[in-house]
Amino acid sequence: WAKDRKTFTDEIAHLRGQVATHKDQLASSLKEKEEAASQRMSEEKAVLEEMVEGLQTEVRARYDSGFQFSLEQLK
């Protein structure tokens, strides 16, 4: 019975070690995925900011053009 108990104790210790290893691997994998997602989102944000800037420039140009047209009509 003492031998069986030693076997079970050893197996429990081994399983705990495996659990710790898997936990570390999972944490590492999650961190990598979060970093990749963060990088992707940063890139998408930069693209969207560039698009917004372009649209703002276009709106300003159209507004100026419309304003100039209105002034010409008044002359």
Q: Give the per-residue pLDDT at 1.
A: 76
CA distance 43 to 48: 9
- What's residue 48's pLDDT? 99
Cα(75)–Cα(67) distance, integer angstroms: 13
Provide the pLDDT for residue 75. 78
| pLDDT at residue 4 in the model | 87
pLDDT score recorded for residue 33 = 98
The CA-based angle 55-57-61, given to 5 degrees, is 115
Ranges in the chain, pLDDT < 50 = none
Where does 1-75 have alpha helices with state H?
Answer: 2-74
Handedness of CA 55, 57, 63, 69 (dihedral sign): negative
pTM: 0.58
pLDDT digits (tens, 9 = 90+) for 17-38: 999 999 999 999 999 999 999 9
